[in-house]
Amino acid sequence: MLDPLGDRNLTDLLEERVQQHGDRTFLVFEDCDGAVSELAYAAFLARTQRAAQGLAQLGIVQGDMVVVHLRNSPEFLVAWFALARLGAVLIPSNVANTVGELEHIVGFTQARLAITEPTFLSTVQGGIAAAGTATDVVIARGTAEGLVAFAELERAEGTPPRPRVSGDDLAELIFTSGTTRKPKAVMLTHANCLRAGQDAVHCLWLDEGERCLTALPLFHVNGQAMSLFAVLTVAGTLVLIEEFRASRFWGQVRSHRATQTCLVAMQLRTLIAQPPNDGDRDHSLKRLFYAINVTDAEKETFETRYGATLINGYGLSEGMTLLTCSPVVGPRRWPSIGLPSPGRRLLLVDEEGNEVPRGEVGEIVVEGTPGRDIMLGYYRDEESTAAALRGNRMHTGDNAYADEAGYLYFFDRKKDMIKRAGENVSAIEVEWVLIDHPQVLEASVVGVPDAIRDEAVAAVVVPNPGETISKEELIDYCRERLSRFKVPTVVSFVEALPRTSIGKVRKDELRRALAAEAEAAAR
């Protein structure tokens, strides 16, 4: 059967753009100090070819695993496309990873090489030492004594190897930032990456020459799919910001004439907190993609101040990436996560795999071909792969319901569903009630063991700066707005919620801490 992606790979995609628009600006990069550099498509391809030759001279061959532990930078992109040309596999590493987390990544994949920068060198070397692997290190964005510099690789002469790389071959392993103690490695192919770009373009109606700006990290699929691959699909320009800083971000959106960008909740809230500027609404944005819902008040405040409409959606690494999106034109039905992306087939199913009626909550299941529409599986984890991939269906572990028009509404993670005395409690529903309290800045809700009622509803709350609130007041507030079985019985106050690098709350940490407190109190 013929496929709309064809049998193409990342190198094919880049070379197609160079043939058509070699002189067009592919990359605009702004570093933490505000310095800006640019690369045309042809110049970027030339850098990747030289880097590929340098990597080949180091012994990197098709199928090798290479950890790239870099902040957003041109070197990250050059390294990835150099590896793609050789048929090697990128393992993008979260720069917040600790020695222990890198030990798992390096040891689990038996990575042949790691590419990092001076700031993270000791952490990367510590992870390699702990893993006990023969992993070489290349230093980028600087130098280090005794190590090969990535800049040297980019000066390599000669024509790099070009092995046969199928669209179905691995392009990268994404380690999930979920709540499992040892993250799983999502296997994504070249075809998955090409599909991700097409999904972003089709959902957001992106056109040739778009300027897509992102400060989201490239080690995450949002930054890859919604910005990098969207740009390559439409021969646009990627405006890459090294690091998100709320005080500078909107000025960067304006100065770089961005036509599209993406935000997560943490970024949106910090932008609202910035001092107003007369030029806040003076920008070129046509599309602003958003994921992870905020309150109605926060949405209204942001859209009114910045003159930009949020386009909500839903995706995950295993689906690479955009599975649903609110219509660009037409009703968006906030807080709906929209309709299935063009060409996507989504189902909502019960525990037996049967589709649920409209209005009832079911697990989001995606139908597609592994390695093209959905992930190929979890690397070296047959049990988890079998649980998630059942034939041509991928189970996301996320619950949603659909309204009468087929719009989807995210309900909760299945594992975030709290079972209390035979009733199901949505953590998100309780969180939204808590966040609406005028003295609450943020809140996260989890289930903790309860000897009598299976699980207790536990809330971890961040009060507004300088304000205090009592446990009893919060519980009374919830009692007025929630069924009795949904009201938290455990309330803890913290200064900040633990988060991943992309702003997701680390509920695994909260569960462990609250469970330990409950166990200690029971003694």
Order of strands, edge to edge, in the sheet holding 260-264? 36-40, 25-30, 237-241, 211-214, 260-264, 287-291, 310-315, 322-325, 339-340
Give the residue-averaged pLDDT of 383-396. 94
The residues that bridge with 490 in the sheet, in sequence order, are 458
Question: Which residue's structure tokens are 């038996």?
Answer: 110
Identity of the residue numbered 389: L
Helix (H) or strand (E) holding 339: strand 339-340
In the predicted structure, residue 523 carries a pLDDT above the cut 70: no
Residue 7 tokens, joined: 């049998």
- Split at pLDDT 50, 70, 90, the class of 177 is low
- Split at pLDDT 50, 70, 90, the class of 515 is confident
Residue 273: HSE in the Cβ half-sphere, 13 Å Cα cutoff: 12
Give the residue-averaged pLDDT of 218-234. 96
Q: What pLDDT score does 224 carry?
A: 97
Look at residues 523, 451, 462, 463 and name the one whose alpha carbon lies nearest to residue 489: 451
CA 349 vs CA 60, 358, 421: distances in Å: 44, 11, 23
In the predicted structure, residue 127 carries a pLDDT above the cut 80: yes
Q: What pLDDT score does 432 carry?
A: 87
Give the residue-averaged pLDDT of 390-399. 94
Residue 416 tokens, joined: 């975030």
SS3 305: helix
Residue 245 tokens, joined: 């800083």
Give the residue-averaged pLDDT of 256-271. 92
CB atoms within 10 A of CB 165: 23
Q: Tell me the average pLDDT of the chain.
A: 93
Give the residue-averaged pLDDT of 493-503. 85
Residue 156 tokens, joined: 């390599």
- Split at pLDDT 50, 70, 90, the class of 450 is confident
Q: What pLDDT score does 1 carry?
A: 67
SS3 217: coil
Alpha helix (H) residue ranges in 2-149: 10-21, 41-57, 74-86, 99-109, 121-131
pLDDT digits (tens, 9 = 90+) for 43-81: 999 999 999 999 999 999 999 999 999 999 999 999 999
CA-CA-CA-CA torsion sign (474, 447, 96, 244): negative
Euclidean distance between CA atoms 73 and 116, whole angstroms: 11
pLDDT digits (tens, 9 = 90+) for 289-315: 997 778 888 899 999 999 999 999 999
In the predicted structure, residue 462 carries a pLDDT above the cut 60: yes
Euclidean distance between CA atoms 510 and 458, whole angstroms: 9
- Split at pLDDT 50, 70, 90, the class of 411 is confident
Euclidean distance between CA atoms 429 and 295, whole angstroms: 11
In the predicted structure, residue 179 carries a pLDDT above the cut 60: no
Decide which of 3.40.50.20, 3.40.1190.20, 3.30.70.1150, 3.30.300.30 is the CATH code for 421-522. Answer: 3.30.300.30
State residue 361 phi and psi, 5-degree precision: -80, 135
Question: Which residue's structure tokens are 């070397």?
Answer: 125
In the predicted structure, residue 248 carries a pLDDT above the cut 80: yes
DSSP symbols for 70-112: --SSHHHHHHHHHHHHHT-EEEE--TT--HHHHHHHHHHHT-S
CA 444 vs CA 312, 434, 454: distances in Å: 21, 9, 19
Specify the DSSP class assigned to residue 495.
Answer: S
pTM equals: 0.87
